[in-house]
């Protein structure tokens, strides 16, 4: 394959911080072996998340100077609104400070006890915002999406027969909304096909259920459709994105992902009455409808970022850099979720450290060793994040023990990626010597953020 290079050159640089093995050993102990508790200055390559960590372009920085900070009716809002209308076609464009703020608004309006929401896979904050209203959230991911090593082009697809069965069981009148998460973050950044979105839209229409997109990574999803779905290879990313938004009647987005900004989000709707209610709530929680929870300059950067997110050279480089990482690791037998997704590489920690049982947190052992050896920060998505206890306080493990290495947009070069690959391989060669961890403190909710751990 011809080499795909970074489609940018660097105008402003930011130093990264080197530490020694001995220093990292101390830092890990001081932070109770939880990488959320270490200072980012002590990290060399930070792959904790792709959210809000991207690099803005010179055009985005220039547009920041054009930000108009008027409280009402700012031209920066109208610029953002016009870009959004062009891409999505949605009638009402409501800015929010990030994705979960948009979720809070829409699910507060539509949620409540006795309501069910359905998705390919809900992201944690989305599920949280639904459950907070007393409603319930259900995922219907296709079977192939649940098996890490199965190669399939669209492992983010929704399982339509199961979804329809559920709709008939619970009654469509109790299901206000179906959300397609593109790409499917919790399932490995896997894309959803246009075909699957079309069929879901038809099903939702049949039962009078609103069809929504969680569009955080819509451009990466569109690029996968272009590369993998028959009849889309000659369409532009914009055309594919437009086609996919037109299937839905609304959506939410964390602009901290594909829109290439460090803060921002939106809620978009076609329904006039729903939009009115959402704006009323926005005024209570975020701000006036022409700025949401943002500054005018943020709206400018977001408008420009949305345009840049659909650049094909950029998207191909981005998907390729993650695929490249996957190829190098697979070649030496390291188990990962395959094929690689759009924003992150997921290592199957259960298979990687098969001698460490789930309740000794193999994902934590892996992320901590990567930090110790290479100063690299990833995140465990396994028993620490999602584990529960049964009535006798025995741990219940989630189906998978994963480690996510999320790649910030336009931040690291191929040499950084090569360094990460080298360190993962080093950890793999030494895997038999790794030990598990036990929890010595945990909070009742979202324990992974603040847990204190101890090596076994
Ligand atoms: N939906 C998806 C699919 C997400 O991945 C996220 C955030 C959100 C909604 C919430 O958006 O953070 O702006 O409020 N994902 C981040 C991550 C945090 O690391 O994957 P937010």
Query: Separation of 119 CA from ligand 1 center, angstroms?
Result: 15
Determine the Cα–Cα distance for residues 199 and 30; give it in Å rounded to an integer. Answer: 52
Query: Separation of 385 CA from ligand 1 center, angstroms?
Result: 15
Kindly list the structural domains of the chain, giving each domain's residue range(s) and its CATH number in brackets, ordered by start: 21-50+312-455 (3.90.1150.10), 58-308 (3.40.640.10)
Query: Separation of 186 CA from ligand 1 center, angstroms?
Result: 10
Q: For residue 284, what are its two tokens?
A: 């209570």
Strand 250-254 relative to strand 265-269: parallel, antiparallel, unpaired?
antiparallel
Instruction: Supply the pLDDT for residue 210.
Output: 98
Closest CA to 174 of 122, 120, 125, 134: 134
Helices (H), 180-267: 194-207, 218-228, 237-246
Using a 10 angstrom Cβ sphere, with 0-12 exposed, 13-18 middle and 19 or more buried, the burial of residue 216 is buried
Instruction: Supply the pLDDT for residue 417.
Output: 97
Determine the Cα–Cα distance for residues 286 and 271; give it in Å rounded to an integer. Answer: 20
Query: Separation of 355 CA from ligand 1 center, angstroms?
Result: 32
Using CA atoms of 197, 203, 208, 210 in order, give the dihedral in degrees to the nearest 10: -20
End-to-end CA, the chain: 45
Tell whether ligand 1 has an atom less than 6 A from the beta carbon of residue 99: yes
Closest CA to 411 of 65, 18, 63, 57: 57
Closest Cα to atom 5 of ligand 1: 185
Instruction: Supply the pLDDT for residue 1.
Output: 64
Determine the Cα–Cα distance for residues 318 and 100; give it in Å rounded to an integer. Answer: 25
**Intervals of the chain under pLDDT 50:** none
Instruction: Supply the pLDDT for residue 188.
Output: 86
Using CA atoms of 87, 253, 148, 233 in order, give the dihedral in degrees to the nearest 10: 0
- CA of residue 13 relative to chain centroid, distance: 26
Residue by residue, what is the 3-state secondary structure of 229-273? Answer: CCCCCCCCHHHHHHHHHHCCCEEEEECCCCCCCCCCEEEEECCHH
What is the full DSSP assignment across 117-134?
EEES---HHHHHHHHHTT
Instruction: Supply the pLDDT for residue 439.
Output: 96
Contact (Cβ atoms closer than 8 angstroms) between residue 427 and residue 369? yes
The model carries a pTM of 0.96
């Amino acid at each position: 394959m011809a080499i795909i290079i970074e489609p940018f050159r660097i105008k402003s640089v930011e130093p990264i911080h080197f530490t020694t093995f001995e220093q990292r050993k101390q830092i890990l102990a001081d932070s109770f072996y939880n990488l959320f508790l270490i200072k980012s200055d002590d990290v060399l390559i930070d792959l904790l998340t792709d959210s809000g960590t991207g690099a803005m372009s010179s055009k985005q920085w220039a547009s920041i100077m054009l930000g108009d900070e008027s409280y009402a009716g700012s031209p920066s809002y109208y610029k953002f609104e016009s870009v959004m209308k062009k891409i999505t076609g949605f009638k009402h464009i409501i800015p929010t400070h990030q994705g979960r703020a948009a979720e809070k608004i829409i699910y507060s309006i539509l949620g409540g006890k006795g309501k069910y929401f359905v998705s390919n896979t809900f992201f944690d904050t989305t599920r949280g915002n639904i459950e907070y209203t007393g409603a319930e959230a259900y995922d219907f991911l296709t079977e192939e999406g649940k098996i890490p090593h199965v190669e399939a082009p669209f492992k983010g697809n929704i399982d339509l027969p199961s979804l329809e069965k559920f709709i008939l069981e619970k009654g469509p009148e109790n299901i206000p909304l179906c959300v397609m998460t593109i790409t499917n973050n919790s399932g490995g950044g896997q894309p959803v096909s246009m075909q699957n979105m079309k069929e879901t839209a038809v099903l939702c229409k049949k039962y009078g259920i609103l069809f929504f997109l969680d569009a955080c990574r819509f451009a990466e999803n569109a690029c996968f459709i272009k590369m993998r779905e028959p009849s889309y290879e000659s369409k532009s990313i914009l055309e594919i994105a437009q086609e996919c938004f037109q299937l839905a009647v609304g959506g939410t987005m964390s602009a901290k992902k594909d829109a290439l900004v460090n803060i921002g989000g939106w809620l978009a709707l076609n329904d006039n009455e729903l939009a009115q209610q959402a704006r009323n709530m926005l005024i209570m929680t975020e701000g006036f409808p022409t700025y949401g929870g943002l500054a005018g300059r943020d709206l400018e950067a977001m408008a420009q970022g949305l345009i840049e997110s659909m650049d094909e050279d950029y998207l191909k480089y981005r998907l390729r850099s993650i695929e490249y990482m996957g190829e190098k690791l697979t070649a030496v037998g390291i188990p990962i979720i395959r094929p690689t997704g759009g924003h992150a590489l997921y290592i199957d920690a259960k298979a990687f450290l098969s001698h460490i049982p789930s309740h000794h947190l193999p994902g934590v052992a892996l992320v901590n060793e990567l930090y110790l050896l290479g100063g690299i920060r990833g995140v465990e998505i396994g028993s620490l994040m999602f584990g529960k206890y049964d009535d006798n306080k025995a741990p219940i493990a989630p189906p998978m023990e994963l480690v996510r290495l999320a790649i910030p947009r336009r931040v690291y070069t191929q040499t950084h990626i090569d360094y990460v690959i080298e360190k993962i391989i080093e950890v793999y060669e030494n895997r038999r010597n790794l030990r598990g961890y036990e929890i010595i403190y945990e909070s009742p909710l979202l324990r992974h953020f603040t847990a204190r751990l101890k090596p076994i």
